[in-house]
C-alpha cells in the first residue's frame, strides 16, 4: 500500500484564498485586519520566518507591520512596544518572533500581549482556553495539523491519536485539540518506555520531536494517518521531518511530506487567527 499524500501547499492555498475573500468582505465593512510582527536581533532563521509572515499578510490583503529592533533592545522597551500595540486599534494580532535575546524574558513578553491579540496562541490565557474548551486562539502549528486532517475528511471521533512530543507550542496543544475532536489521545516523550508499542496502536500519529527517523515503518499500523511536524536537515543539508518518509509511506494510509506538509500551514493559521481576531472585534463594535 502506498499512502496518499496530504498536500499542505494545496490546503494552504485554499485556506489563504478563503482568508483573502473574508478579508475583502471585512474591509468593505470598514475594518482591515492588521498583524504586528516584532523581531529582535539578527537571527537568520527568524528573519526568514518573519519575512514569510509579512509577505503572506500582504498577499491575502491584511495590513502588516514589521518592527525590527537591535539585539540590545531592553526588556522594558519591548514590553512598552507590546503595550502600545495592545492599545492600537489598527492591530488585531501581535506576534513576537522567538527566540528572543537571552536578557529578555520571553514568557513575560508573551504574557504582556493582550489575549484578544495573541494570534500565536502562546499566552497562558490561550492555552487555558484550549484546555477548557473556551473560545481563544489555537496555536498555529497544531491548528494547521487539525486543518490537514479536516482536508482529507478524517473524522477523529473514537480514533486513537498518538502525539510524539510534549512541547508547549506543538505537542501539548496538539494533544488537547485532538481530544477536543473526540480522539483518544496518548502523548509520548523522551521518557516514554516503549514508543513503538504506543505508535503501533495509533490510527493517527503526529510526530513533533525534532529528530530524523524517529518514526520508522515498523512503528506504524497499516493505513494509519501520519502527520510530520519535524523540521530537520539530513546529511546533505536537505530539509526533512521526524518520519522516515520513503518507508513509512508504504505502510501508512495518509502522510504529510516535509517540506510541503505542516510547514506552510503554520503561517496560514496565523492569517486565519488574525482575520478571526479582526472579525470578532468588528462584531463586538457592531
Ligand atoms: P521541542 O520543544 O524540542 O520538543 C520536542 C519533544 O520531543 C519533547 O517533548 C521531547 O520530550 C520529545 N522527544 C525528544 N526525543 C524523543 C524521543 N526519542 N522519543 C519521543 N519523544 C522525544 O520541539 P518543538 O518545538 O515541539 O518542535 C518539534 C519539531 O517540530 C522540531 O523539529 C521543530 O523544528 C518542528 N516545528 C515545526 C513547525 C512547523 O511549522 N512545521 C513549527 C514548530 C516546530 P521531552 O519533553 O521529554 O524532552
User: Mind listing the pLDDT tens digit of every residue in the chain (286 residues)?
Assistant: 799 999 999 999 999 999 999 999 999 999 999 999 999 999 999 999 999 999 999 999 999 999 999 999 999 999 999 999 999 999 999 999 999 999 999 999 999 999 999 999 999 999 999 999 999 999 999 999 999 999 999 999 999 999 999 999 999 999 999 999 999 999 999 999 999 999 999 999 999 999 999 999 999 999 999 999 999 999 999 999 999 999 999 999 999 999 999 999 999 999 999 999 999 999 998 8
d(CA 128, CA 121): 10
Here the cell at position 163 is 502525539
CATH number at residue 94: 3.40.50.10860
In a domain, 75, yes or no: yes
55 and 159, same domain (yes or no):
no
Q: Is the CB of 64 under 6 A from ligand 1?
A: no
246 and 161, same domain (yes or no):
yes
Q: Judge if pTM exceeds 0.85.
A: yes
Cα→Cα distances 170→70, 82, 176, 212, Å = 28, 24, 10, 17
109 and 149, same domain (yes or no):
no
54 and 158, same domain (yes or no):
no
The residue contributing the CA closest to ligand 1 atom 48 is 190
Give the nearest ligand 1 atom to 258 CA.
Answer: 41
Q: If you measure from the C-alpha of residue 272 to the centroid of ligand 1, how many angstroms do you get, rounded to a whole number?
A: 24
Whether 53 sits among the annotated catalytic residues: the reply is: yes
In a domain, 15, yes or no: no
93 and 144, same domain (yes or no):
no
149 and 253, same domain (yes or no):
yes
Q: If you measure from the C-alpha of residue 18 to the centroid of ligand 1, how many angstroms do you get, rounded to a whole number?
A: 30
Q: If you measure from the C-alpha of residue 187 to the centroid of ligand 1, how many angstroms do you get, rounded to a whole number?
A: 12
* Number of domains within the chain: 2
Domain boundary among 99, 114, 129: 114
In a domain, 155, yes or no: yes
In a domain, 276, yes or no: no
In a domain, 286, yes or no: no
Which structural domain range is residue 53 located in? 30-114
Amino acid at each position: 500500500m502506498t499512502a496518499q499524500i496530504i498536500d499542505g501547499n494545496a490546503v494552504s492555498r485554499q485556506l489563504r484564498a478563503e482568508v483573502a475573500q473574508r478579508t475583502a468582505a471585512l474591509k468593505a465593512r470598514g475594518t482591515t485586519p492588521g498583524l504586528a510582527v516584532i523581531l529582535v536581533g539578527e537571527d537568520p532563521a527568524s528573519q526568514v520566518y518573519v519575512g514569510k509572515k509579512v509577505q503572506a499578510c500582504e498577499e491575502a490583503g491584511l495590513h502588516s507591520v514589521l518592527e525590527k529592533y537591535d539585539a540590545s533592545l531592553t526588556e522594558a522597551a519591548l514590553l512598552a512596544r507590546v503595550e502600545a500595540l495592545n492599545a492600537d486599534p489598527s492591530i488585531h494580532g501581535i506576534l513576537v518572533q522567538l527566540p528572543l535575546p537571552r536578557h529578555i524574558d520571553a514568557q513575560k513578553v508573551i504574557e504582556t500581549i493582550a489575549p484578544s491579540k495573541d494570534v500565536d496562541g502562546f499566552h497562558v490565557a490561550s492555552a487555558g482556553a484550549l484546555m477548557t474548551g473556551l473560545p481563544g486562539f489555537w496555536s498555529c502549528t497544531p491548528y494547521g495539523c487539525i486543518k490537514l486532517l479536516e482536508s482529507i475528511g478524517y473524522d477523529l471521533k473514537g480514533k486513537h491519536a498518538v502525539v510524539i512530543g510534549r512541547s508547549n507550542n506543538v505537542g501539548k496543544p496538539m494533544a488537547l485539540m485532538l481530544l477536543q475532536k473526540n480522539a483518544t489521545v496518548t502523548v509520548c516523550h523522551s521518557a516514554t518506555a516503549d514508543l513503538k508499542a504506543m505508535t503501533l496502536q495509533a490510527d493517527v500519529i503526529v510526530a513533533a520531536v525534532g529528530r530524523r527517523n524517529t518514526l520508522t515503518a515498523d512503528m506504524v499500523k497499516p493505513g494509519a494517518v501520519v502527520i510530520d511536524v519535524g523540521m530537520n536537515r539530513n546529511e546533505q543539508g536537505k530539509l526533512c521531518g521526524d518520519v522516515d518518509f520513503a518507508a513509512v509511506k508504504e505502510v501508512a494510509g495518509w502522510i504529510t511530506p516535509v517540506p510541503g506538509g505542516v510547514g506552510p500551514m503554520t503561517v496560514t493559521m496565523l492569517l486565519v487567527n488574525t482575520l478571526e481576531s479582526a472579525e470578532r472585534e468588528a462584531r463586538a463594535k457592531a
